[in-house]
Structure formats: C-alpha cells, structure tokens
Copies of this chain bind each other. A is one copy, B any other.
C-alpha cells in the first residue's frame, strides 16, 4: 500500500506533466492558470486512495483522478462568473484576469477536456465509470442552480439545503470514492458503499465550511470570520436559525439581511450573537458528527481488511479537524 503522502506526490507530478496546446492562447492559458493556482487536490487524492483500498496498483485510477479534478476546477471557473467572484485562492478569478467570454469558453473547453481522462480505461470498467461521472456532472449543475435559486428565496428548508449541497458538493466527492474503488477492482456493493461514504463525508465537509466561516478561529481560519454573513449566504447556520427562531428573532435576522448600509463587524456580531442564543454552533456540530457517523457506517461495510482502511480514516480525520 502507498502512504498518503506518496499518493499526493503521484497526483502532483501528474498535474505538473499536464500539457495543453499553446493555441488559441486565450482558451488554454486560463485552464493552465486555474490548475496552477492549486487548491488541495483532495478529489484526485480521494480517487487514488479509494483505488489503493482495493488494489496495490493505482494506475487505472490516475487518469480519472485528474479528470475529476479538472471537472471540479471547471465548475469553480464558471461558478465564479455566476457569483461575480473576484478572487479565488487569493488570485484574480479567470473572468477578472481575462474577461467573461474567455472564462465561459475556457470553462467549456476544460469540461470537455476532463472527459479525455475517462477514455482508455479497461473495457470492463469503462462504462460504469463513464456513467457515474456523467450523472455526477449533471447533478453538480443542478446543485449550482438550486444554490442560485436560494439567493432569492427567503424560506429554504433544512431538507432543501441539504439536497442542494449534496448535489453541488457531495456527489462529486462520492463519485471520486466510487470511481477510485471501481478502478481498484471493487465489487458493485463496495463501490456503492464508497459512494455513500463519500456523499455523507461531503455533507459533513460542507457543514464544517459553513461552521468555520462563523466560528472558526481567525488566526487558524486564515481569513476574516463572517464572510458568509456579510454576503447573506444561505448557509446551514442561517437556514437553521431562520427555521427554529421565534418570530421576533426571525424578524431581527431578516432585518440584518435586508440592511443595505451596515457596519461589517456590527452585522457579523449581531448574527453571531443570535446564532449563539439559538445554540446554532452546537446544533451544527451535532449535525456534522451525524454525517461523519453515517459516512463511516458505510465505510465499515467495505469488505477489505481493516488495516487497509487506515490511510483513508487518518486522512479523513485530518480533514475533519481542519481549522481552515
């Protein structure tokens, strides 16, 4: 078995080897740019970790791992246009550095490019991997659409929110685990359990993101607390608060959301105080824990010797306890 750091190195070196055509430059430079500014490459790592769970040979999983990461970066590129985001990973977003047309088209090319990495797989796994990837890709678009819809919708239920982040975020992580597993030779049942493992992990990760944005330690979090509050983002915390608060508190939250002119610190503190009063941090932490437990209930079912599971468990625990 590989050490996780070894798999990380394999992934990194594969990304360094990636080659895109030189022309047209406006199409390919943005793709090289967004891939070069990094990110944690967690999805390809999940993919090869999953393959390594079932097989010593992770070779089959490498191309799909790259394809999944390229697809993920395509979604970031197009989401940033839609969200009018100027900064991604501390760098200007593609539509800021170039322009919107370049961002739309290089995103399109990037998405198509990701499919290149799902060819040349062994025949017996080709179609099931391809189908998993394509289904997931469509679901991610659905998730982004629901997310955009929520911007103009005050009443979002917890269930609707969970469904949205499942589509927007979790199914791709689920697909990484499932596709990696299939590449490693997992049987159908194990592959499905890996999918459910990833899906519930993804939900826990997203809720953790929501939580850290409000209750992270500023020094460790690496950016200012409360970005989601300032942007009136419908996070788990806000939705839960709106759903469980009495009419008076709810009115107070809505008043904060509707304020056009406000002092950042004041707004953040007002909302955080309400969250504290409503026990939102504890409720969120409990929910995160539930999803971790659910995730591991699926992982426990995987029919491989326990010692093979250690690298994934350790890596997931690392992510679970992250502060940023």
- Whether, in the assembled complex, A59 has its beta carbon less than 8 Å from a beta carbon of chain B, the answer is no
Q: Given the complex, which residues of B lie within 8 Å of A24, measured CB to CB?
A: 142, 145-146, 149
> In the bound complex, do residue A119 and residue B111 qualify as a contact, i.e. CB atoms below 8 Å apart?
no
> In the bound complex, do residue A145 and residue B112 qualify as a contact, i.e. CB atoms below 8 Å apart?
no
With A78-B108, A82-B101, A105-B78 in contact, is A27–B141 under 8 Å at CB? Answer: yes
Mask, A88-130, CB within 8 Å of B = 1, is: 0000000000000100110111011101100110010011001
- Whether, in the assembled complex, A42 has its beta carbon less than 8 Å from a beta carbon of chain B, the answer is no
Least Cβ distance of A300 to chain B in Å?
A: 32
> In the bound complex, do residue B109 and residue A81 qualify as a contact, i.e. CB atoms below 8 Å apart?
no
- Whether, in the assembled complex, A276 has its beta carbon less than 8 Å from a beta carbon of chain B, the answer is no
Q: Given the complex, which residues of B lie within 8 Å of A138, measured CB to CB?
A: 109, 112-113
Can you tell how many copies of this chain the complex includes?
A: 2
Q: Which of the residues B101, B111, B119, B134 comes within 8 Å of A108, measured between beta carbons?
A: B111
Q: Given the complex, which residues of B lie within 8 Å of A109, measured CB to CB?
A: 138, 141-142
- Whether, in the assembled complex, A40 has its beta carbon less than 8 Å from a beta carbon of chain B, the answer is no
- Whether, in the assembled complex, A144 has its beta carbon less than 8 Å from a beta carbon of chain B, the answer is yes
14 A-B residue pairs with Cβ-Cβ distance under 8 Å, sorted by A, are A24-B145, A26-B148, A27-B145, A78-B104, A81-B104, A82-B101, A105-B144, A108-B108, A108-B111, A108-B141, A109-B141, A112-B138, A115-B115, A126-B126
Closest 8 CB pairs of A and B: A109-B141, A24-B145, A27-B145, A82-B101, A112-B137, A112-B138, A115-B134, A108-B141
